[in-house]
């Protein structure tokens, strides 16, 4: 088993990998005690039986050559459910892998259902069973056992087989552009941006009170900056319920913080308490943040429950016919907007989604298609003009 624990050894590995057509990648990380994910292992495999484990915790190891490889346009980077891996590469290496192939998304396009696990794909496509016994390893501890390292390496060696099988099926079906469309969304830097100004949205407030929102936004931004700077979880700075309670019932003085149930004793007199009070004071002059994204806009017309049910049935039928996971085609909000004739911004009406479902959804809504029962099964029927 190849363990890379020095910059010299990493450069030698990169030299072997730089002409590979694709790389299968995975990471092991921890984030329960930190704000930023703590990268503990990097696993990489390529055609030709090249496979290695890179130890980011090895003293003096510089990962710059690895991140440079991630930016190579010549090599497809293969991940499974890779959003968190990409977040690590983006935050620590300043790079988003490109070109990219996520096997979980590709599996949804290839008829493996919603959110197919790596174990499922390894069993069905690579014909191997994944030993899950090392799944809950503390990957930051050293030394790791041979069994733990073998488990980690299996995540990429079998991923090579899974990738090749899915890529072959996508080529056969002509659906490779569908996956490419999804990859473009996954590579959007905005997806991985942790802007303190947006931190208040995580708290999902259910009010439009401008003063409350201005205070909550200021407090959440302060906490996010502190958590980032100190590299500790947000709730280790101060808990969510404390921020919500302070914004709801702002105290008249720093001492008043002590009377808020969710604020720890002695917090007001600490450096953190002084910083929170300063943020709270400044919020009195601040503009409230823009409308909350999760609030649904008022519909110009109410969507008929019957229309929603019919569109959901059509989605299921078209997804089954195309062997694509319904969730990848349209979500509940898309269905409601279609039923309300509010088409702007509905992803299901564009690209491959329109071919599979969106165009038919509009035709059903406009009375050009119908859903009927045939031998006890729901079918789509074209209406005669």
Per-residue model confidence (pLDDT) at position 291: 66
Q: Where are the domains of the chain?
A: 3-192, 196-285, 305-382
Q: Given this structure, which CATH class describes domain 3-192?
A: alpha beta
| DSSP β-bridge partners for residue 76 | 22
Per-residue model confidence (pLDDT) at position 296: 53
Q: What is the pTM of this model?
A: 0.87
Per-residue model confidence (pLDDT) at position 191: 93
Per-residue model confidence (pLDDT) at position 207: 85
Please name the fold of domain 305-382.
DNA polymerase; domain 1 (1.10.150)
Q: Mean pLDDT per segment of 10 residues, for the chain of length 385 residues?
A: 97 97 97 94 96 97 97 97 96 95 97 91 94 84 94 94 98 96 94 94 90 95 97 96 95 92 92 95 87 56 88 96 94 94 94 96 94 92 83
Per-residue model confidence (pLDDT) at position 101: 98
Per-residue model confidence (pLDDT) at position 115: 80
Given this chain, do its domains 3-192 and 196-285 carry the same CATH topology? no
Per-residue model confidence (pLDDT) at position 384: 80
Beta carbons within 10 angstroms of residue 344's beta carbon: 6
Per-residue model confidence (pLDDT) at position 7: 98
Architecture in CATH of 196-285: Orthogonal Bundle (1.10)
Per-residue model confidence (pLDDT) at position 206: 85
């Amino acid at each position: 088993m190849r363990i890379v624990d020095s910059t010299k050894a990493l450069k030698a590995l990169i030299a072997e990998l730089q002409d590979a057509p694709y790389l299968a990648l995975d990471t092991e990380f921890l984030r329960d005690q930190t704000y930023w994910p703590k990268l503990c292992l990097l696993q990489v495999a390529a055609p030709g039986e090249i496979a290695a484990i890179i130890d980011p915790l090895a003293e003096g190891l510089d990962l710059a050559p690895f991140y440079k490889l991630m930016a190579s346009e010549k090599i497809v980077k293969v991940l499974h459910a890779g959003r968190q891996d990409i977040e690590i590469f983006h935050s620590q290496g300043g790079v988003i892998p490109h070109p990219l192939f996520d096997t979980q998304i590709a599996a949804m396009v290839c008829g493996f259902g919603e959110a197919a696990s790596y174990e499922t794909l390894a069993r069905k496509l690579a014909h191997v069973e994944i030993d899950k016994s090392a799944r809950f390893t503390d990957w930051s501890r050293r030394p790791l056992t041979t069994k733990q390292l073998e488990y980690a390496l299996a995540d990429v060696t079998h991923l090579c087989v899974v990738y090749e099988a899915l890529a072959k099926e996508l080529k056969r079906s002509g659906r490779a552009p569908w996956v490419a469309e999804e990859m473009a969304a996954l590579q959007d830097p905005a997806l991985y941006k942790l802007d303190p100004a947006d931190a208040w949205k995580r708290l999902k407030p259910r009010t439009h009170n401008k003063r409350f929102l201005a205070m909550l936004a200021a407090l959440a931004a302060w906490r996010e900056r502190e958590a980032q700077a100190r590299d500790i979880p947000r709730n280790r700075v101060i808990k969510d319920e404390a921020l919500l309670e302070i914004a709801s019932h702002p105290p008249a003085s720093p001492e008043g913080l002590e009377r808020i149930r969710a604020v720890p004793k002695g917090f007001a007199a600490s450096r953190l308490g002084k910083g929170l009070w300063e943020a709270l004071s400044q919020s009195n002059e601040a503009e409230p943040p823009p409308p909350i994204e999760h609030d649904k806009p008022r519909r110009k017309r109410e969507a008929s429950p019957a229309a929603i049910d019919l569109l959901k049935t059509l989605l299921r039928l078209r997804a089954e016919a195309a062997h694509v996971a319904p969730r990848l085609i349209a979500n509940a909000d898309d269905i409601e907007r279609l039923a309300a004739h509010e088409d702007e911004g509905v992803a299901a009406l564009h690209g491959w989604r329109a071919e599979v479902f969106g165009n038919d959804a509009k035709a059903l809504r406009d009375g050009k298609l119908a859903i009927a029962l045939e031998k006890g099964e729901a079918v789509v029927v074209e209406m005669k003009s």
